[in-house]
Amino acid sequence: MSEPFDLFRISEEQEMLRDSVRSLAESKIAPFAAEVDEQGRFPQEARDALEAADLHAVHVPEQYDGAGADALSTVIVIEEVARVCASSSLIPAVNKLGSLPVQLSGSEELKSRYLGALARREGMFSYCLSEPEAGSDAAGMKTRAVRDGDHWVLDGVKRWITNAGVSEFYTVMAVTDPDKRSKGISAFVVEKDDPGVSFGAPERKLGIKGSPTREVYFDQVRIPADRMIGEEGTGFATAMRTLDHTRVTIAAQALGIAQGALDYAKGYVAERKQFGKAIAEFQGIQFMLADMAMKLEAARQLTYAAAAKSERGDKDLTFFGAAAKCYASDAAMEITTDAVQLLGGYGYTRDYPVERMMRDAKITQIYEGTNQVQRIVMARNLP
């Protein structure tokens, strides 16, 4: 285990990045956040702004035309976007989730083709692991890929796919040898325009309404054999390695949502008057704010430490990635709930952003592995 006081360090460049992303988010993303939620529409304004600033996929290495940002810088980008709009933060977050299997295990040709396309803004990336009967038990998936000469033919359905229908590229896990369970799963890159690819209707969700979540259908989808990511049978291992890294980005999203809620609540209680004075002067309110800030800062420290471990590839990343995601998302749910409470009746209305933040926070406890699964992962990988 690393020394506790040498897990990470925020550089001056990273602080400048935070300031830059916060400014962009407040000026070009925040004004549309309520409308995006209300209408349940994709935040195209956010995508345009992030892509124009090369902030849509900062994790892509420089050799593939990317910014080459480290894991902590990627966390900062996602955190600052999520502070104003959780749906929009899923653009950089899921671009990393979808493309990281290629970066971790793909051939040089695949990396050049697809990481380069992502960096050059030629399309977004999504990640296809879950299925109707294979959620927490991802190894129980049924989607099949059968070899046919120089091609693979995919059949099946994936569920809960973030940004499905908007993304051009999809990392898809499929069974290539049914007798081997997890070791019989392989990973592929599928393109939106491949014949046989189609999408279900958008899910009607509690939160992150601006990020489309849809089923993806594969009906005799024939793709070249060189679109396999890594060796045959290594797809499930690649999927789990990917989640070790990207659970940190979900923690970052949770941090941003919580920070946005705390910031708004602080401003509100300073202005709201009852009994002749601002309610911020009441000790009960002060204690609530103190607890919110304490939980948020603890979550941030754990998340940044996990990001540093992600960058270094530390052996205990599996534990720290799960811990960061679990703790930060639990904290975000508590903090946003308290923010709604601090606003009283106003907090319960859509005229104020904290109810949206509370709804958005809930999914961070569920996707990329429920927090119950995170606790199983942590228990199996105690440092």
> Would you name the residues annotated as active-site residues?
368
CA 42 to CA 96: how far, in whole Å? 18
Q: What secondary structure, in 3-state letters, does the chain show?
A: CCCCCCCCCCCHHHHHHHHHHHHHHHHHHHHHHHHHHHHCCCCHHHHHHHHHCCCCCCCCCHHHCCCCCCHHHHHHHHHHHHCCCHHHHHHHHHHHHHHHHHHHHCCHHHHHHHHHHHHCCCCCEEEECCECCECCCHHHCCCEEEEECCEEEEEEEEEEEECCCCCCEEEEEEECCHHHHHHHEEEEEEECCCCCEEECCCCCCCCCCCCCEEEEEEEEEEEEHHHEECCCCCHHHHHHHHHHHHHHHHHHHHHHHHHHHHHHHHHHHHHCEECCEEHHHCHHHHHHHHHHHHHHHHHHHHHHHHHHHHHHCCCCHHHHHHHHHHHHHHHHHHHHHHHHHHHHHHHHCCCCCHHHHHHHHHHCCCCCCCHHHHHHHHHHCCC
Residues in CB range of 383: below 8 A, 6 or more apart:
1, 316, 319, 320
Give me the half-sphere count of Cα atoms (radius 13 Å) on the Cβ side of residue 69. 24
CA 63 to CA 70: how far, in whole Å? 14
Residues in CB range of 299: below 8 A, 6 or more apart:
251, 254, 255, 258, 324, 327, 328, 331, 332
